[in-house]
Amino acid sequence: MIIVSGPSGAGKGTLIRRMHERFPFLRTAISATTRPMRPTEKDGREYHFLSEDEFLAHVADGDFLEHVIYAGNRYGTLRSEVDRHLHHGDSVVLEIELRGARALRDALPDAVTIFIEPPSRDELVRRLRARDTEAEADIQVRLAESLVELEASQEFNYQVRNDDLDAATAEMARIVDAVTRSS
Ligand code: ADP
Ligand code: 5GP
């Protein structure tokens, strides 16, 4: 299991997509969320998009390995998503924020953790605005979260600085290659 974390806008999704192109055996556990779907997203592909009631029903049933409220919406890792892939012996990638990563790291000590760092705070702001998926108020909440997240980067097994995308891709590929070979 590979846990990928880092501030919103650092490039986690972009880098993970590139890892799937290079390592076709990688599987991503699809999280559940209550946040609104972006125009580019599809239910069941980026997330299982749930209503608040649906999400809370999963919480009550103990279906989540971990779940948090982040920037006003709920996010959670479904046990079934992780088990489905692990049973097949596949390597599972999880993209989650800091509190979820901490909870899973404690629950799954064999997990390898990777932190994606932006080159600077200004560049993080630029990327979030350029992505154009959140309103300015939501961007500000994500930036506030990023201050806490960046402080925790050293808790992770690996740090990948995503300045030049191709260099970061190569760096992450080296890590994924090493991790999946030895597991
Ligand atoms: P995250 O999943 O961490 O929130 P994304 O992968 O959505 O971040 O990336 C945020 C934005 O920054 C996207 O528009 C993406 O295309 C862009 N981006 C990602 N990596 C780089 C990079 N190295 N240089 C410039 N832009 C980048
Ligand atoms: P976004 O709304 O940009 O897709 O995601 C916001 C944050 O939630 C990101 O840091 C992302 O990694 C995190 N996230 C996505 N799925 C989960 C999950 O299942 N659990 C936790 N704890 N965080 C998640």
Atom of ligand 1 nearest to the CA of 162: 23
Which are the contacts of 83, defined by CB distance < 8 A and separation ≥ 6?
A: none
Tell me the C-alpha distance between 98 and 15, whole Å: 18
Superfamily of domain 2-182: P-loop containing nucleotide triphosphate hydrolases (3.40.50.300)
Mean pLDDT, the chain cut into blocks of 10 residues (183 residues total): 97 97 94 96 96 98 98 96 81 96 92 97 96 94 96 98 98 96 80
Compute CA 81 distance to the chain's CA centroid, rounded to the nearest angstrom.
Answer: 14
Tell me the C-alpha distance between 91 and 159, whole Å: 20
Compute CA 29 distance to the chain's CA centroid, rounded to the nearest angstrom.
Answer: 10
Atom of ligand 2 nearest to the CA of 101: 22
CA of 180 to the centre of ligand 2 (A): 23
CA of 112 to the centre of ligand 1 (A): 22
Name the residue with the closest Cα to ligand 2, atom 24. Answer: 96
Q: What is the pLDDT of residue 129?
A: 96
53: helix, strand or coil: helix
165 within ligand 1 shell (Cβ under 6 A): yes
Q: What is the pLDDT of residue 87?
A: 74
Which are the contacts of 157, defined by CB distance < 8 A and separation ≥ 6?
A: 112, 113, 114
Sign of CA dihedral 58, 108, 37, 142: positive
Q: What is the pLDDT of residue 85?
A: 81
Tokens 């090493």 identify what position?
178
CA of 151 to the centre of ligand 2 (A): 18
Predicted TM-score of the model (pTM): 0.96
Q: What is the pLDDT of residue 183?
A: 73
Cβ(82)–Cβ(94) below 8 Å: yes
What are the structural domain ranges in the chain? 2-182
Cβ(93)–Cβ(2) below 8 Å: yes
Atom of ligand 2 nearest to the CA of 8: 10
Pocket test for ligand 2, best of 41, 49, 97 (most atoms within 8 A of CB): 97
Pocket test for ligand 1, best of 131, 134, 150 (most atoms within 8 A of CB): 131
Cβ neighbourhood burial of 128 (10 Å; 0-12, 13-18, 19+): buried
